[in-house]
Structure 1
Amino acid sequence: MLAIFGPKLRPEEISERLAIDPDYFHSRDTKDIQNEPLEPHWQLNSKLGPESPLNDHIWELLKRVASVRRELKEITSKHDACFYASVEFASPDTKGIRLEKRVMLLLGELGINLEILPWEGEDFRT
């Protein structure tokens, strides 16, 4: 997913500036389970299945924002932006994740961080 977040973020403003409807968002009025306010958040999800390589997911999201990359770069100069990926490591023999050079260059140019969140598979203990 591509997430844009920050204490002063207004999700409706992001949607308007990018002319893209988010797959998920919440405003500063949203509260967590302890009734604490959540940081405002705007997000796009990859439409690819979980079997697709990480690079394909990133490219799918980058294509969706390609026509508004200048606006996105302005937004990321004011708010945090991150690609999040959740990856299951099913065995000790699983290869690592390798990002294409051009993906890393584009993410850096757009001011977007990448966070990979590994989670434990059913049969593998880390």
Structure 2
Amino acid sequence: MSVTDRNPRSWALIAISEPGLDVHEITRQTGIRPDLPVPGTVEGISGEPISSPLWQIHSKKDANLPLEEHIWELIERIAPHRKEFKSVCERHRGVLYCSVEYNDGRMEEASLDSKLLLLLGNLGLKIAFQAWRLQERGRRSEDQDNFR
């Protein structure tokens, strides 16, 4: 078993989403260019505007790296604009979504150290974990590029 095979596959993203959100204003206020901006003017499947616009940044690291590396990548992107980002999170709900492969005990744990938790808490981010058991390949946009 190689070193990367010992880590559960994972990825992370930070999202701000709520009805009426102006994603362009979030970009202006934070100075951070989102990876996925979905303004409220976008139509959903029904043909109606979506109910919750979305501002999102996501990890671009390999899914076989430890979860912490994905989160540190996001923190590094926020760092130059942390005061502005924190201010936005005081007015809007910011969530760090952590997606982790189901661990049957044969892999390392997905864990977050105390320094990272303090940084996330200081930014005002809620943390949500999503575990999955099925083949995750192709779910991330980076993985989809490998299949084209």
TM over 0.5, yes or no?
yes
* TM-score computed with the length of structure 2 as normaliser: 0.74
Alignment correspondent of 1:38: 51
Q: Distance in 2 between matches of 1:30 and 1:109?
A: 32
After the TM superposition, which residues 1-126 of structure 1 pair with which residues of structure 2 at under 5 Å, given as runs?
Answer: 1-35=13-47, 37-121=50-134
Q: Distance in 1 between matches of 2:47 and 2:17?
A: 19
* TM-score computed with the length of structure 1 as normaliser: 0.86
CA contact 1:29–1:38 (8 Å) conserved in 2: no
Q: Distance in 2 between matches of 1:57 and 1:95?
A: 16
Q: What do the CA deviations read for 1:51-73 (whole angstroms, capped 9, x no partner)?
A: 11111111110010101111011
Q: Distance in 1 between matches of 2:43 and 2:126?
A: 25
Q: Distance in 2 between matches of 1:103 and 1:39?
A: 29
Structure 1 unaligned residues grouped into runs of 5+: none
Deviates more, 1:29-38 or 1:58-67: 29-38
- Report percent identity of matched pairs: 34
Aligned residue pairs: how many?
A: 122
Superposition misfits of 4+ residues, deviation over 2 angstroms: 29-38, 90-97
